[in-house]
């Protein structure tokens, strides 16, 4: 049952009652107008009963049953008493519409056929009003069914597009959340490596420092224990962030988290994959940065190169890394078809850009993407970059 039919559902008994009353009144009028001699008492009773009963099935559930009952009753009325009522016609149209909207429309067509035949067979003697109603039934009931069918189709289309929009939105949300979890995982991963280094160094200091007083050894032991406690919590946290219930043995990373030292590999890969010119342009003095910032820059470049390959295949791509005072600027620009100058990134390419923005934001940076003045597409990020203290 579709939702738009429901609000009207409670009107159905009321409408049915009105039609039943109408049919009853109509048949009484019809009897009064007819010469008394031509109608027997039982015939009069029958006419009233059939006319009245014609509208009753409207209150039943099941569009096919309703349509069948109403039209068969009408047919009975027509054949037995050469009489149809306006209320019966209205009930027939209502049933036809419902069958078209929710049930089998072909049934309506089949049931309307006898009326058409009756109408074409010529007017019955003495009841031109019935002939008109017969013709109207033959025409209007299928027409009502047709209206029902077109309403149904429109509703289906609307429902389909609503569902698609809903699905797209959920997919985007899901991707975003997945991307955020991935960023969080990778950043925690870096932190965990730092903490394990604290632990190793504390143990090394405790056992290998010559002449270390016992108090010092105890301090180092405490540092090691704190680091281990932190790591235990961190492992739990990463367990929570893990996306798959059952770990996929093939997806666990076997390489260290990448940094800017690995960007040349990305460029080489891109060059090989697309066969087009991909350049790395460096300015400023490259210094090692926080691993989190390097990872963010790496992932942004990786994603932007993938996007360029997908949306501007064959285009030349420039990757610029600019080490400025306290800031790392990353720019990935292609000379593909791009977007109108100044246009923001297309939302359908959405999650790639959203993911890059999340990456930049996660380390306190910003990212902008869009068409460039010379055509093509550009992604530009500014990440905070305090040179890493050498360890």
Place of tokens 């342009």: 281
Out of 120, 200, 281, 287, the only residue in the binding site for other proteins (CB under 8 A) is 200
Q: Which is nearer to other proteins, 194 or 310 (CB)?
A: 194
- Is residue 255 involved in binding other proteins (CB under 8 A)? yes
Nearest approach in angstroms of CB 211 to other proteins is 14
Which token pair is 308? Answer: 């360029």
- Is residue 260 involved in binding other proteins (CB under 8 A)? no
Q: What residues contact residue 214 under an 8 Å CB cut-off, 6+ apart?
A: none
Q: How many CB atoms lie within 10 A of CB 332?
A: 25
Q: What residues contact residue 65 under an 8 Å CB cut-off, 6+ apart?
A: 57
- Is residue 193 involved in binding other proteins (CB under 8 A)? yes
Smallest Cα–Cα separation from 317: which of 385, 381, 376?
Answer: 376
Nearest approach in angstroms of CB 254 to other proteins is 4
Cα–Cα dist 45/272, whole Å:
92
Which token pair is 28? Answer: 């009484």
Report the site for other proteins in 208-237 (rule: CB under 8 A).
Answer: 208, 224, 227-228, 231, 235
Phi, psi of 373 (to 5 degrees): -60, -35
- Is residue 32 involved in binding other proteins (CB under 8 A)? no
Q: Which is nearer to other proteins, 10 or 255 (CB)?
A: 255
Nearest approach in angstroms of CB 175 to other proteins is 24
Cα–Cα dist 143/141, whole Å:
5
R_g over Cα of the chain: 40
Q: Which is nearer to other proteins, 247 or 275 (CB)?
A: 247
Q: Which is nearer to other proteins, 204 or 347 (CB)?
A: 204
Out of 12, 49, 238, 241, the only residue in the binding site for other proteins (CB under 8 A) is 238
Which residues bind to other proteins, rule: CB under 8 A? 189, 192-193, 195-197, 199-201, 203-204, 206-208, 224, 227-228, 231, 235, 238, 246-249, 252-256, 391
């Amino acid at each position: 049952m579709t939702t738009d039919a429901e609000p009207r559902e409670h009107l159905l008994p009321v409408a049915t009652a009105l039609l039943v009353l109408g049919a009853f009144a109509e048949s009484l009028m019809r009897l009064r107008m007819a010469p008394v001699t031509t109608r027997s008492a039982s015939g009069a009773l029958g006419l009233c009963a059939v006319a009245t009963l014609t509208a009753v099935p409207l209150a039943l559930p099941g569009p096919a049953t309703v349509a069948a009952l109403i039209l068969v009753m009408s047919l009975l009325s027509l054949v037995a008493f050469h009489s149809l009522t306006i209320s019966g016609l209205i009930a027939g149209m209502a049933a036809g519409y419902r069958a078209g909207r929710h049930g089998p429309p072909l049934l309506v067509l089949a049931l309307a056929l006898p009326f058409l035949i009756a109408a074409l067979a010529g007017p019955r003697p003495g009841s031109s009003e019935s002939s008109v109603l017969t013709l109207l039934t033959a025409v209007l009931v299928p027409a009502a069914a047709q209206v029902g069918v077109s309403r149904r189709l429109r509703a289906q289309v609307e429902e389909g597009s609503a569902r698609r929009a809903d699905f797209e939105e959920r997919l985007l949300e899901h991707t975003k959340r997945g991307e955020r979890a991935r960023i969080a995982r990778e950043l925690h991963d870096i932190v965990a490596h730092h903490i394990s280094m604290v632990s190793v160094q504390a143990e090394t200091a405790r056992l290998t420092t010559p002449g270390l007083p016992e108090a010092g050894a105890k301090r180092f032991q405490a540092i090691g224990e704190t680091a281990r406690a932190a790591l235990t919590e961190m492992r739990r946290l990463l367990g929570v962030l893990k996306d798959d219930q059952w770990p996929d043995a093939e997806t666990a990373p076997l390489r260290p988290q990448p940094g800017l030292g690995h960007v040349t590999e990305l460029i080489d890969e891109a060059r090989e994959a697309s066969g087009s010119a991909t350049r790395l342009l460096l300015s400023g003095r490259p210094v090692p940065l926080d691993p989190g910032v390097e990872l963010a820059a790496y992932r942004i470049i990786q994603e932007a190169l993938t996007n360029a390959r997908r949306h501007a295949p064959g285009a030349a791509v420039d990757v610029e890394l600019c080490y400025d005072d306290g800031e790392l600027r990353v720019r990935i620009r292609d000379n593909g078809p791009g977007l109108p100058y100044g246009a923001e990134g297309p939302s359908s390419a959405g999650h790639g850009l959203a993911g890059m923005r999340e990456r930049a934001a996660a380390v306190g940076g910003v990212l902008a993407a869009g068409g460039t003045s010379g055509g093509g597409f550009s992604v530009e990020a500014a990440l905070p970059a305090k040179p890493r203290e050498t360890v």
